[in-house]
Amino acid sequence: MNVLLLGSGGREHALAVKIAQSSCLGKLFTAPGNPGTAECGQNIPLNISDFEAIGNFIEENSIEMLVVGPEDPLVNGIADYFADRPVSVIGPSKDGAMLEGSKDFAKDFMTRHGIPTALYKSFDKSQLQQGYDFLEKLAPPFVLKADGLAAGKGVIIVDSLSEAKASLKEMLDGKFGAASSRVVIEEFLRGIEVSVFVLTDGKSYKILPEAKDYKRIGENDRGLNTGGMGAVSPVCFADRAFIDRFEKKIVEPTIRGLQKDGIYYKGFIFFGLMNCGGEPYLIEYNVRMGDPETEAVMPRLNGDILDLFDGVAKGTLDTKQCSICPETAVTVVLVSGGYPEEYRKGIEIEGISSIKGNKVYHAGTSENGGKLLTSGGRVLTVTALSGNLQSALDSVYDSVRKISFDGCYYRRDIGKDLLNY
């Protein structure tokens, strides 16, 4: 089977590594890819938003499966574009992708289908005063979310009512561009977050390993939100009883809801959960794998991922085998100095060749003249897989310390909050 994978980050490198291990694979192409994905197959300089060019490449190279990594092509309807063509797309239709593309759509879906979530209302610029009134009815802290896609940074949580009102006005005035032309205000749920991933063919599903990610730039979860600074899988508080409740109260109603609403969905669903005293509440959907959670989840997924994807495409996922490695994965992200605000690019990276045993995934890198250079805010992720959390932490940080580039920064506390949980 010839496969085209869309994307260029750490998530796509982790997927490429897993796909390259498949006995079903013919050729793997990644567009546009990065120096890491080039080690798994061939990178192709395609724009992931140019569906016509992607279609031409698919036809010219006998591509049988298109795996979509990032959310933008899904929200823009890439699965619909190829619906009548002889290629299987791993990713939902445009309607299905609205679960991530619009927070308001997602919250309405949750409410209609009886999925436990936080109390909410949404407002546009003409409803600013109503938004203020709703904030006054809530207890702090206050949660405000841009309705549309904002690269994982469109969420503001503040303790002060005056700050919340000011943030609402800033968002509706365009702080996050068109993404915040509508803002969802939610009640704050007290608990601890966990992400659980599901692969579905629209009827049946497989629950993949869960992960806890760390969004803030600073240690002890301080500072600005980022795309993610690290992840741990499994998560100690997401025990069998919690996952069973999650499946019954959230997964099953979600799949039934998609069917009831006539939404075509074949691909990953990311469930962002809050564990509130052992009860799962759904914070958000994503319609693809998370990043950097993918770099922690994929090493724990046993079996042939293309065989699972074939089951998704053909509607036979319930006949496929999916088992989970019991070991612990810890992922640490190395970022450019200044991220998530301004940062430099083109800085030489050294030390990767000295790492043995652990996996280095490329996220924001490029090559020039035989040198590996930084090209993004999140540059590399390093993942260790070991028998327990402490040994995985020791191993991953031993590897991280061997990598260097000017301005390199990483959090030194990833996973440490779970050691004595």
Q: What is the mean pLDDT of residues 375-392?
A: 98
Q: Can you give the CATH number for the domain in which 152 is found?
A: 3.30.1490.20
- Residues 84 and 123 grouped into a single domain: no
The phi, psi pair for 123, rounded to 5°, reads: -140, 145
pTM to 2 decimal places: 0.93
pLDDT over 90 percentage in the chain? 95
3-state SS assignment for residue 11: helix
Residues 7 and 43 in one domain: yes
Q: Is residue 131 part of a domain?
A: yes
- 291 domain-assigned: no
Residues 82 and 127 both lie in one domain: no
State whether 8 and 85 are in the same domain: yes
For residue 77, is it within any domain? yes
- pLDDT on residue 421: 76
* Structural domain for 35, as ranges: 3-92
Q: Residue 152's pLDDT is what?
A: 67
Ramachandran class of 236: left when φ > 0, alpha when ψ lies in -120 to 50, beta otherwise: alpha
The rounded mean pLDDT for the chain is: 96
What three-state secondary structure class fits 2? coil
Do 37 and 81 share a structural domain? Answer: yes
CATH code for the domain of 61: 3.40.50.20
**Distances in whole angstroms, Cα of residue 77 to Cα of each of 60, 96, 101, 297:** 22, 10, 11, 26
Within a domain: 147:
yes
- Asked if pLDDT for residue 420 goes beyond 90, the answer is no
Does 159 reside within a domain?
Answer: yes
Query: pLDDT tens across 132-188, in order?
Result: 999 999 999 999 999 988 876 788 899 999 999 999 999 999 999 999 999 999 999
- Render pLDDT for 397-409 as a digit per residue (tens, 0 to 9): 999 999 999 999 9
Residue 109 located in a structural domain:
no
CA distance 255 to 166: 38
Q: What is the pLDDT of residue 279?
A: 94
Buried b (16+ CB within 10 A) or exposed e, 331-341: bbbbbbeebbe
Would 214 be classed as within a structural domain? no
Regarding whether 83 and 12 lie in a shared domain, the answer is: yes
Report the number of distinct structural domains present in the chain.
2
What are 80-103's pLDDT values in tens digits?
999 999 999 999 999 999 999 999
Statement: residue 291 has pLDDT above 70 = yes
Q: Is residue 397 part of a domain?
A: no
Tell me how long the chain is: 421
Residue 35 has pLDDT above 90, yes or no: yes
pLDDT, tens digit, for every residue of 320-371?
A: 999 999 999 999 999 999 999 999 999 999 999 999 999 999 999 999 999 9
Model confidence over 210-227: pLDDT tens digits?
999 999 999 999 998 899
